[in-house]
Amino acid sequence: MKENLIKQYNDLNNSFKKILVFHLGISAGFFSEYNCMIFAMLYCLQHKIQFVLYSKDANFKYKDGWTDYFEPFCKSTSFWTHKYLNAKYFGPLNLSKLNFKDINNLKYQAKRFSHSIFAKISKIFVPYFYTQDLWNEFYNKEMVQQEYDIPELAIKGDFTHACNRLVEITWNYNAPTKKNIEELTNNCIVPDKYLSCHIRGGDKVIEYELLSVSDYIRAVKQYDYKSVFVLTDDYRIMSELQDRYPEYNYYTLCQEYEAGYDNSKFTQTDLELKKQSLLKLFASIEIMNKSEVFIGTKTSNPSIFMSMYNPGITKGIDCVNGKMEYLLD
């Protein structure tokens, strides 16, 4: 069934003449990158643009990028120029942000400007879009507000419905990843029925004011379950939950030494440690996917992913009526 869906996607995708080469794993966390890939795929289907993947230098790679963990789902390229010219968004040179006393700032602005110029020049010779060419088209609220009708893929509905279908096409672990995830999930014995949630710490506080554990527990109390699986990158959150709300049984794959995710540090991590970290994240996703209800937030990319992966169980505690919102500004 899924094999047929992937074939149908490729038949449709490969029929388009215009091409977007999407650069996956540029600079953000895994689910930030993955979610944007789904949005780009949907935009391409809507506008009859062939989607091609480039992940050779992905910040989450172990050896090859996407296929380190997942089955291929579309054409891909490993052409070296995408490492340098294919970005999220360069933007115009902003003179107001130049700081002549800060050499790193000057290097960064010069790099953005030079990349932008060379990318424009390369467009004379290459017949496809780079990620930055369409970024503002697929990463905006207009995408969320539309209805989608793509009969070849049985897509007929809102943004979440369409994205759910594309997750089904793309989210297919390869055999080694499946085996590793099974081993990790088998080591975390949860009851038959439980709730799950994602409580973020680490560098996320730089982007958004984090919700407190009490916000999550208020949501948990709406349901008649006493077992909660928690995806977190900071074991201090687990300690706080256990101290303040001991009436619940908590489960997690987070280790006691973990004190919060930092994407800049993660990208510089030893390859084997990076791989193990991602496998543990994927295992947590699969445990949450089997829960009765997943409680997340619109400011968390794993939560946004869960709303596409399993919209039927996903509730956003900071969203209207619990329906997940997408902050595509």
Q: What is the mean pLDDT of the chain?
A: 88
Residues 141, 329: contact at Cβ < 8 Å?
yes
Pairing of strands 18-23, 49-54: parallel
User: How high is the pLDDT of residue 213?
Assistant: 92
For residue 286, how far is the Cα from the chain centroid?
Answer: 15
Closest among 156, 198, 191 to 29, alpha carbons compared: 198
- For residues 200-222, give the mean pLDDT: 73
When mean pLDDT is compared across 51-65, 166-180, 210-224, 303-317, the lowest value belongs to 210-224
- For residues 285-309, give the mean pLDDT: 96
pLDDT at 266 over 60: no
For residue 226, how far is the Cα from the chain centroid?
Answer: 29
Cα(277)–Cα(256) distance, integer angstroms: 14
User: How high is the pLDDT of residue 320?
Assistant: 85
pTM greater than the 0.95 cutoff: no
Question: pLDDT tens-digit profile of 144-202?
Answer: 999 999 999 999 999 999 999 999 999 999 999 999 999 999 989 999 999 999 998 75
Output the 3-class SS for the chain: CHHHHHHHHHHHHCCCCEEEEEECCCCCCHHHHHHHHHHHHHHHHHCCEEEEEECCCCCCCCCCCHHHCECCCCCECCCCHHHHHCCCCCCCCCHHHCCCCCHHHHHHHHHHHHHHHHHHHHCCCCCCECHHHHHHHHCCHHHHHCCEEEHHHCEEECHHHHHHHHHHHHCCECHHHHHHHHHHHHCCCCCCCCEEEECCCHHHHHCCCCCCHHHHHHHHCCCCCCEEEEECCEHHHHHHHHHHCCCCEEECCCCCCCECCCHHHHCCCCHHHHHHHHHHHHHHHHHHHCCCEEEECCCCHHHHHHHHHCCCCEEECCCHHHCCCCCCC
Question: pLDDT tens-digit profile of 85-115?
Answer: 888 765 555 566 666 666 766 665 666 666 6
- For residues 61-78, give the mean pLDDT: 96
Cα(28)–Cα(41) distance, integer angstroms: 18
* Sign of the four-CA dihedral 289, 294, 300, 304: positive
Q: Is 209 exposed, middle or buried (0-12, 13-18, 19+ CB in 10 A)?
A: exposed
Closest among 39, 38, 43, 47 to 16, alpha carbons compared: 47
The domains located in the chain, with CATH, are 2-170 (no CATH), 175-322 (3.40.50.11350)
Pairing of strands 249-251, 227-231: parallel
Cα(65)–Cα(233) distance, integer angstroms: 23
Which residues lie closer than 8 Å to 192 by C-beta, 6 or more apart? none
Portion of the chain with pLDDT greater than 70, in percent: 83
Query: Which two three-digit tokens encode residue 301?
Result: 């990319």
pLDDT at 126 over 80: no
Question: pLDDT tens-digit profile of 30-43?
Answer: 999 999 999 999 99
Residue 64 CB neighbours (<10 A): 13
Furthest-apart CA atoms within the chain: distance in Å? 64
Residues 154, 162: contact at Cβ < 8 Å?
no
